[in-house]
Amino acid sequence: MSTDDTTTEASSTETESTCGASKTETNAESKCGASTDSGGSSSSCGASTDDEEKVGATVDDFDADPGRLVTVGLGPGQPEGMTARAKAALADAEHIVGYTTYVDLLPDEIVEDADDIYSTPMCGEVSRTEEAIDRALAGNDVAIIGSGDPNVYALSGLALEILESKGGTASAVDFEVVPGVPAAQSCGARLGAPLVNDTVSVSLSDHLTPMADIESRLEAVAPEGFTIAIYNPWSRKRRENFQRCCEILLEHRDPETPVGIVHGASRDDEETLITDLGTLPELGEAEVVDMTTTVVVGNEETYVWDDRMVTPRGYETKYDY
């Protein structure tokens, strides 16, 4: 996942983090064991340092009985978009670890009740995740938070990979994934009913996936009958990816194919636009398309009715209505 794919927010005041202790607003330093070598908070996405890839302490360096480690999906933004299970998991967590923007999305009561909140700005995914693991290995109940769902371009996989590299096991830290509503579904809901049939997601972030691979994936799915949800569609460094994506889609799909654009679903700056594929390239520089936008490209049957995108499920082929 690229938590790097949302707007950077400057790091605010820092108090010292210990494995069980002080309340912090934003904190880039850990005393929890392993992360002190990691330069995540100062690295920039796409230019990660060797340090950021290093894993420090192993399970043998911790004496305590491990606590819990849960990855929690917050859904699209506002607290009312969180599942009851996600809220309960956060209420139970002693420590909450996340990207600054996601910490800002937490309900006040969750922040107030937590023993400690550890947040870092964008691009600190590896060091931040390791920090969460170290805290769990040190005996704390820890939640790693992210927008949408933890299994959609997010940190659940990284947490398990790092845990394994430390010599740990998922059951030792009682690892659990608490799902959230992914952006594609939140955005689909805002657009009407565009995702009712087979859908694939493609991320245009080349932070972790080479653009050549992203192009291959687009080439593979564009000719097929999928609705396509495009994540991470645009950033200043990713202008060309967006244009290349539009070119590939237009090679295989009619320019009149409906396209829905949702910026900031369920957030204060939410904006929705329904357009067509032929118009999409010129929207690359529009404010509505940025790093908190999901673009939904209809299939050959998708149509626009009363300002809603509709992708038929196929009932019309079997039933009269």
Ligand X SMILES: C[S@@+](CC[C@H](N)C(=O)[O-])C[C@H]1O[C@@H](n2cnc3c(N)ncnc32)[C@H](O)[C@@H]1O
Contact set with ligand X (CB under 6 A): 1-3, 5, 76-77, 146-149, 152-154, 182-183, 187, 231-232, 262, 264-267, 291-294
Distance of CA 27 to the CA centre of its chain: 21
Sheet holding 116-120, edge to edge: 116-120, 95-99, 142-146, 69-73, 175-178
Is 5 within 8 Å of 291 (Cβ atoms)? yes
Q: Which is nearer to ligand X, 35 or 147 (CB)?
A: 147
Minimum gap (Å) between residue 202 Cβ and ligand X: 10
Minimum gap (Å) between residue 243 Cβ and ligand X: 17
Minimum gap (Å) between residue 246 Cβ and ligand X: 16
Q: Residue ranges of the alpha helices (H) in the chain?
A: 50-53, 84-92, 100-104, 108-113, 125-137, 156-165, 183-191, 211-221, 239-252
Minimum gap (Å) between residue 68 Cβ and ligand X: 21
Could you give the C-alpha distances from 215 to 56, 103, 157, 206, in angstroms and in order? 35, 33, 23, 10
Angle (CA) 250-312-226 rounded to 5° is: 40
Phi, psi of 24 (to 5 degrees): -130, 145
Q: Which is nearer to ligand X, 56 or 180 (CB)?
A: 180
How is residue 5 written in tokens?
């794919």
Q: How far apart are CA 189 and CA 191, in angstroms?
A: 5
Q: Which is nearer to ligand X, 146 or 258 (CB)?
A: 146
Q: Which is nearer to ligand X, 33 or 150 (CB)?
A: 150
Q: Which is nearer to ligand X, 74 or 222 (CB)?
A: 74
Minimum gap (Å) between residue 204 Cβ and ligand X: 9
Q: Which is nearer to ligand X, 142 or 154 (CB)?
A: 154
Is 194 within 8 Å of 260 (Cβ atoms)? yes
Q: Which is nearer to ligand X, 125 or 130 (CB)?
A: 125
Q: Which is nearer to ligand X, 57 or 183 (CB)?
A: 183
Minimum gap (Å) between residue 77 Cβ and ligand X: 5
Minimum gap (Å) between residue 263 Cβ and ligand X: 6
Burial of residue 79 (number of CB atoms within 10 Å: 0-12, 13-18, 19+): middle
Is 160 within 8 Å of 41 (Cβ atoms)? no
Is 56 within 8 Å of 34 (Cβ atoms)? yes
Minimum gap (Å) between residue 105 Cβ and ligand X: 9
Q: Which is nearer to ligand X, 183 or 274 (CB)?
A: 183
23's CB contacts (< 8 A; 6+ apart) are 15, 114, 115, 116, 117
Minimum gap (Å) between residue 190 Cβ and ligand X: 9
Q: How far apart are CA 33 and CA 17, in angstroms?
A: 11
* Side chain identity at residue 224, one-letter code: E
